Homo-oligomer: A and B are copies of this chain.
Amino acid sequence: MRLDDLPTPCLVLDRGILKRNIDTMARRLARHGVPLRPHMKTAKSIDVARLAIAGQPGGITVSTLAEAEYFASHGITDILYAVGITPQKLDRVARLNSAGAGVIVLTDDPDTAGAIAAHGRPPRALIEIDCGEGRGGVFPGDDLLLAIAARLGPCLAGVMTHAGHSYAGRSAKDMARIAEAERAGVVCAAGRLREAGHPGPIVSMGSSPTALHARHLDGVTEVRAGVYMLGDLFQAEIGTNDLDAIALTVLTSVIGRRPGRLLVDAGGLALSKDRSTADAPRDYGFGLVLDPAGRRSHGDAIVRRAYQEHGVVEADPGFPLDLPVGARLRIAPNHTCMTAAAHDRYFVVEGSDEIVAIWPRVNGW
């Protein structure tokens, strides 16, 4: 099967680029002697996970319990569910752990910590630390940290933070500064817990930009990152990946022609409505238009508008885009996590137009 045989729209994953991205991250972290717990929320695929954990301890991070169940069913047992847990979800975690998994949960709430400790089959838990993102987590110096630790008791497994605000950085220097604040915040929290007599072996930090740009990771026991595997236009804008290191594209067909633009069958569902690059130095609309081989033959043509099933491609005036209905294009996405989630599988290529594998994804909750 070749690219031309695929129904459109669909996801095309370049395994060569994927492997290079995974290798780059592994080498960067090896300099610091800190292992990776790859975040599978982007790829949601056991085939990608196997590549990402090669040479690492073997644990992963997930963003849904559906992912935890899927990866556990494929033999991965060390799983961090890195979204705040609710008491109601503990039974589902317990079923996985009773069947042999070791799902670790996350909280920043004393009452939830109490519910974890009181559960009939309590999981290990991390306390979420806010290192400046302002989303979830307690501040490292907040007494709430010690209160939660006390409620967790023997369930306490450590601390975790996520510098999601690194996405507001625009240079390697910005990222190094944010990475240091992330590291210092979570290490400080871990130190306060130890001083108070709470053991907590895991000190976990990470986001793709801070994982790549951190100058040192002293005191950190593991790094989490996910989007680096596939890359996207927004990550290119903030320096995580080069434009030619985007492993994921959406294959699409031309379905209409007008002067200076084309209609394609990749719209808001196939690409997502994510507009991350609207605030980046370069705004790519709903995606950058590539030729069927993934090359930039069409200059700066982008998907300017996205309806449910229609994308409107605006040509770069320097690169006329005179293609017939049925011609194929590939669209590099703004935000690969969001784009991939509308699709149930990857069509995998490596250096040619031959489909070398089909890898399923686990969507939903």
Rounded to whole Å, the gap between the CB of A82 and the closest CB of chain B is 9
User: Which B residues are CB-close (under 8 A) to A112?
Assistant: 325-326
Within 8 A of B (CB), among A337-353: 337-338, 341-344
User: Which B residues are CB-close (under 8 A) to A56?
Assistant: none
Q: Nearest chain-B residue to A364 (Cβ)? A: B344
Q: Do A83 and B268 touch across chains, with their CB atoms under 8 A apart?
A: no
Pick the interface stretch among A177-185, A251-259, A291-299. A251-259
Q: Do A310 and B341 touch across chains, with their CB atoms under 8 A apart?
A: no
Indicate with 1 or 0, residue by residue over A351-365, a CB within 8 angstroms of chain B CB atoms. Answer: 000000000000111
Q: Do B136 and A255 touch across chains, with their CB atoms under 8 A apart?
A: yes
Report if A87 contacts B (CB, 8 A).
Answer: yes
Within 8 A of B (CB), among A267-284: 268-270, 272-275
User: Which B residues are CB-close (under 8 A) to A320?
Assistant: none
Partner of A269, one of B325, B326, B341: B341
Q: Do B342 and A83 touch across chains, with their CB atoms under 8 A apart?
A: no
Q: Do A268 and B338 touch across chains, with their CB atoms under 8 A apart?
A: yes
Report if A222 contacts B (CB, 8 A).
Answer: no
Q: Please, how many residues of chain A have a CB less than 8 angstroms from a CB on the other chain?
A: 56
User: Which B residues are CB-close (under 8 A) to A109?
Assistant: 256-257, 325
Q: How many copies does the complex hold?
A: 2
Report if A213 contacts B (CB, 8 A).
Answer: no
Within 8 A of B (CB), among A286-337: 307-310, 312, 324-326, 335, 337
Report if A63 contacts B (CB, 8 A).
Answer: yes
Report if A10 contacts B (CB, 8 A).
Answer: yes
Q: Do A86 and B254 touch across chains, with their CB atoms under 8 A apart?
A: yes
Q: Nearest chain-B residue to A345 (Cβ)? A: B364
Between A164, A312, A335, A338, the greatest number of chain B beta carbons within 10 A of the residue's beta carbon is seen for A338
Whether A7 touches B83, Cβ cut-off 8 Å, given contacts A270-B365, A325-B111, A343-B364, is no
Q: Nearest chain-B residue to A110 (Cβ)? A: B325
Q: Do B342 and A341 touch across chains, with their CB atoms under 8 A apart?
A: yes
Report if A8 contacts B (CB, 8 A).
Answer: yes
User: Which B residues are CB-close (under 8 A) to A84?
Assistant: 255-256, 263, 265, 325
Whether A9 touches B265, Cβ cut-off 8 Å, given contacts A84-B325, A88-B326, is no
Partner of A135, one of B41, B253, B274, B307: B307
**Pairs across A and B, CB under 8 Å, 30 listed:** A7-B65, A7-B89, A7-B92, A7-B365, A8-B86, A10-B365, A41-B308, A63-B308, A63-B309, A64-B309, A83-B309, A83-B310, A84-B265, A85-B255, A86-B253, A86-B325, A87-B326, A88-B326, A109-B257, A111-B324, A135-B263, A135-B310, A136-B255, A136-B256, A136-B263, A269-B341, A272-B272, A275-B275, A344-B363, A344-B364
Chain A contacts to B: CB under 8 angstroms: 7-10, 41, 63-65, 83-89, 92, 107-109, 111-112, 135-136, 164, 253-257, 263, 265, 268-270, 272-275, 307-310, 312, 324-326, 335, 337-338, 341-344, 363-365
